[in-house]
Amino acid sequence: MSTHAIEAVGLVKRYGEKAALDGVSFEVPRGTVCGLLGPNGAGKTTAVRILTTLAKADEGTATVAGLDVAANAREVRARIGLAAQDATVDQLLTGRENLIMIGELHHLGRAIATARADELLEQFSLTDAGGRLAKTYSGGMRRRLDLAATLVARPEVLFLDEPTTGLDPRARNELWDVLDTLVGEGTTILLTTQYLEEADRLADDIVVVDHGRVIARGDARALKQQVGGAQLFATPSNAADLERVAGMVGTITGCEPGIDAASRLVHASTDGGPHVVARLADALADARIAVDDIGLRQPTLDDVFLTLTGAPVADDESVEVAR
């Protein structure tokens, strides 16, 4: 049996003239988390739909849990969970009823389905809201219920399409913790995200997609290094200090510093950790130079795209029109 939980080879999906996927290949080893990272319209949802048997590829093949998604759709579905980008829970049932119903659909039997529902409500901080109709939930609560629903049958491969979009920072952190637990239990996860930070936090391996193509691959560290790592920056209080601060930043990072006179910003790439900030702060204090701001900025998806494609992340407006 394949050691890969997911294997996609040359996937192509066309909508009219447009190729939503234009030859996408990647594989996800069992028990790992893969982050499919890309801007609006990149093809993330299309890839997830093909891998979860909801859409058919025009070209290429894919296996999930060792099974061909086109030939063995039903068996694939029995082994996976999908939290789609749009909530799919029944609005006219309570959160608890939704989860129990799904358990019964999976033939768990009423008693076990109920126990599993209560366990998941607890895990997702929804115990108090469990008795309320899902339509009264906030966006973040609905998102959590959606995720709980995908876990009822303990799937071996989990697909999460932008799982944290719309969640507040606390809910996002809670969700990340839940995903850690699942991975610890051996679940393989493919998640899509527009945030490098999220892919960085969760994924062992990141596949960057743009216009239906894989444009980069690697762990977060490798991707960040490709874009020149993090940026050490400082904003001296007086413009007269710009050159001296630039000298310090250059010495500490070993990289040519950039100076933006208009915003009084000095910056340079660094692969050093937060200690470079401490070194700069010490040097500034020794020289009695006052700063308004100092820090380390991690690269964003924007930086990755700027480096890899030479263009910033562009919103694909046809996405909204097409839906």
Ligand X SMILES: Nc1ncnc2c1ncn2[C@@H]1O[C@H](COP(=O)(O)OP(=O)(O)OP(=O)(O)O)[C@@H](O)[C@H]1O
Pairing of strands 80-83, 157-161: parallel
Classify burial at 304, counting beta carbons within 10 Å of its beta carbon; exposed 0-12, middle 13-18, buried 19 or more. Answer: buried
Residue 263's H or E segment, with its range, is none
Smallest distance, ligand X to C-beta of residue 186, A: 27
Smallest distance, ligand X to C-beta of residue 109, A: 36
Pairing of strands 33-37, 205-210: parallel
Smallest distance, ligand X to C-beta of residue 34, A: 15
Residues between 196 and 215 with contacts to ligand X, criterion CB under 6 A: none
* Residue ranges of E strands in 65-107: 67-68, 80-83
DSSP string, 28-61: EETT-EEEEE--TTSSHHHHHHHHTTSS--SEEE
Shorter beta-carbon distance to ligand X: residue 179 or 208: 208
For the chain, the farthest-separated pair of C-alpha atoms sits apart, in whole angstroms, at: 74
Q: Compute φ and ψ for 43, nearest 5 degrees.
A: 120, 10
Which residue in 4, 22, 35, 46 binds ligand X (CB under 6 A)? 46
Tell me the C-alpha distance between 313 and 308, whole Å. 11
Amino acid at 20: A
Residues between 130 and 149 with contacts to Mg ion, criterion CB under 5 A: none
Of 37-45, 254-262, 275-283, 286-294, the window that binds ligand X (rule: CB under 6 A) is: 37-45
Residue 257 touches which of Mg ion, ligand X, none (Cβ within 5-8 Å per kind): none
Q: Compute φ and ψ for 85, nearest 5 degrees.
A: -65, -35
Tell me the C-alpha distance between 254 and 166, whole Å. 40
Of 15-23, 218-226, 281-289, 294-302, the window that binds ligand X (rule: CB under 6 A) is: 15-23
Under the criterion CB under 6 A, does residue 38 sit at the interface with ligand X?
Answer: yes
Tell me the C-alpha distance between 270 and 233, whole Å. 10
Residues between 58 and 97 with contacts to ligand X, criterion CB under 6 A: 85
Contact partners, residue 106, CB within 8 Å, separation at least 6: 113, 152, 153
Amino acid at 74: R
Residues between 284 and 323 with contacts to ligand X, criterion CB under 6 A: 316, 318-319, 322
Shorter beta-carbon distance to ligand X: residue 34 or 120: 34
Which residue in 43, 95, 103, 236 binds ligand X (CB under 6 A)? 43
Shorter beta-carbon distance to ligand X: residue 52 or 253: 52
Residue 123 touches which of Mg ion, ligand X, none (Cβ within 5-8 Å per kind): none
Residues between 40 and 79 with contacts to Mg ion, criterion CB under 5 A: 44-45
Which residue in 5, 8, 42, 99 binds ligand X (CB under 6 A)? 42
User: Token pair for residue 63?
Assistant: 């296996």
Shorter beta-carbon distance to ligand X: residue 255 or 319: 319
Which residue in 6, 7, 22, 41 binds ligand X (CB under 6 A)? 41
What is the number of residues in the chain?
A: 323
Residues that bind ligand X (CB under 6 A): 15, 18, 20, 38, 40-46, 85, 194, 316, 318-319, 322
Residues that bind Mg ion (CB under 5 A): 44-45, 85
